Structure 1
Amino acid sequence: MSHDESAAKLVRMANQIATFFKSQPEAEQLPGIALHINRFWEPRMRRRFFEMVDDGGQGLDPLVIEAARHIRRPALMTAQTAT
């Protein structure tokens, strides 16, 4: 899977989560999105997610971008930790 394909998949997944939580009470939307991503997305996925958010969040639902401040940002990988 190419880098662009994996990014598109993460955008689609994040937007599906947002779509679900839009049906919930407003006070539960942002925490719900963040909780789901924190629980079920591994650090590598969240790392890529934040790369996209930091790059402008193109394609991401505005609710996902707003929820990003509640999502745990994984530590950056260094060459030493990648081995």
Structure 2
Amino acid sequence: MSHDSVEKLVKMANQIGSFFGAQKIGAAAGMAEHLRKFWAPHMRATISEHVSHGGAGLEPIAIEAVKILQAEKK
């Protein structure tokens, strides 16, 4: 995936994080569930790789949600 695509995924993830962040309790888990259900595997893999390299541009809730997904794969 191109750098441009990563930027788009970061933007999308932050928008989703803003929505789930309003819930306060269980926000990261809710976001992780959303990514699991609605993002294609290649999108999840790309954002996961981005988080593994520092997650530049991602809000903390988005990073936490991706880390939940990463932990499930171990």
Q: Distance in 1 between matches of 2:26 and 2:47?
A: 21
Q: RMSD of aligned C-alpha atoms?
A: 1.8
Q: Deviations over 1:15-58 (max 9, x none)?
A: 0000111211x222011100100000111101101110000000
Is 1:42 matched with 2:40?
yes
Structure 2 unmatched runs, 5+: none
- 2:48, 2:70 within 8 Å by CA — same for their partners in 1? no
* Count of residue pairs the alignment pairs up: 72
Alignment-derived partner of residue 21 in structure 1: 20
Higher helix share: 2
Normalization by structure 1: what TM-score?
0.78
Residue identity opposite 2:4 in structure 1? E
Which aligned segments of 4 or more residues in structure 1 are displaced greater than 6 angstroms? none
Identity, % of aligned pairs?
Answer: 42
Structure 1 unmatched runs, 5+: 76-83
Alignment-derived partner of residue 59 in structure 1: 57
Q: Distance in 1 between matches of 2:44 and 2:12?
A: 12
Bigger CA radius of gyration: 1
Residue identity opposite 1:33 in structure 2? M
